């Protein structure tokens, strides 16, 4: 089975080590949650995996092949802060992705269906500058899913979404998992991670703390409540 493998990833900013010798993997058809307290290095990890930050050391590979700086056709990232182009309409964001990723002709029905599902069909011609945070998030989600990469990274994707948007995104992610996409997601919502993720990886101070299924970690730590489990593992 293909997998996204992270081996010895290290990223520093000056004297501060944001990610410290981090290793884990995400298999195709799997949703893995990357959890940790504020400042744990989650967003830095996502940016390094997506190729937006150059790590000091470590390798990132997909299906056994090390990835170079240009990895946009393999890995797509939905960042924590949704940024869109102010002068492009919602639909033009999808056109931009289709051209950048050289999608085959006939992608438009899929793009329209994504907007419809996310409740954005009526905002198709709205400029980026006029979108609310939640609408910007939905625009990025639609554009990113249109790219149809084998690896999908989502950094706190539920923030800014209304309950209906959260439900639709969860259902989309479950379908992508069934289709074989490798998905890495960060969230502060422990209960949500428990419901959505096959496994979790917990980091603190940029370092790996624990990993496994919730049941495996409960057995290891002796805590039944998911929130108490997380607090226990990140307390030291």
Each residue of 46-75: pLDDT tens digit?
Answer: 999 999 999 999 999 999 999 988 888 899
Check whether residue 163 and residue 226 sit in a common domain.
yes
Check whether residue 164 and residue 227 sit in a common domain.
yes
Element (H, E) at 43: helix 42-50
Element (H, E) at 147: helix 133-147
Q: Which domain holds residue 96?
A: 85-149
Q: How far apart are CA 167 and CA 170, in angstroms?
A: 5
Picking from 97, 128, 149, the residue at the C-terminal end of a domain is 149
Q: How far apart are CA 68 and CA 62, in angstroms?
A: 11
Check whether residue 126 and residue 215 sit in a common domain.
no
Counting Cα atoms < 13 Å in the Cβ hemisphere of 163 gives: 0
Within its chain, how far is the Cα of 211 from the centroid?
17
Q: How many CB atoms lie within 10 A of CB 113?
A: 13
Picking from 149, 180, 203, the residue at the C-terminal end of a domain is 149
State the total domains in the chain: 2
Check whether residue 225 and residue 156 sit in a common domain.
yes
Write out residues in the chain with pLDDT < 50, as ranges: none
Each residue of 116-145: pLDDT tens digit?
Answer: 999 999 999 999 999 999 999 999 999 999
What's the CATH code of the domain at 16?
3.40.50.300
């Amino acid at each position: 089975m293909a997998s996204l493998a992270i081996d010895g990833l290290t990223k520093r900013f000056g004297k501060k080590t944001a990610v410290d010798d981090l290793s884990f993997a995400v298999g195709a058809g799997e949703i893995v949650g990357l959890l940790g307290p504020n400042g744990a290095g989650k967003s830095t990890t996502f940016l390094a995996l997506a190729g937006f930050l150059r790590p000091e050391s470590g390798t990132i590979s997909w299906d056994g092949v090390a990835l170079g700086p240009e990895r946009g056709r393999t890995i797509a990232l939905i960042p924590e802060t949704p940024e869109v182009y102010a002068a492009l309409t919602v639909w033009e964001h999808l056109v931009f992705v289709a051209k950048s990723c050289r999608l085959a002709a006939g992608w438009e029905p899929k793009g329209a269906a994504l907007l419809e599902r996310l409740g954005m069909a009526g905002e198709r011609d709205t400029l980026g500058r006029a979108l609310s945070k939640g609408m910007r998030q939905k625009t990025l989600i639609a554009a990113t899913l249109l790219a149809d990469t084998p690896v999908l990274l989502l950094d706190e994707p539920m923030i800014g979404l209304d309950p209906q948007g959260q439900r639709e995104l969860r259902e989309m992610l479950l379908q992508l998992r069934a289709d074989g996409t490798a998905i890495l997601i960060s969230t502060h919502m422990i209960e949500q991670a428990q419901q959505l993720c096959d496994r979790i990886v917990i980091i603190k101070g940029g370092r790996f703390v624990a990993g496994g299924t919730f049941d495996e970690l409960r057995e290891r730590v002796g805590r039944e409540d998911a929130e108490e489990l997380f607090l226990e593992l990140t307390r030291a």
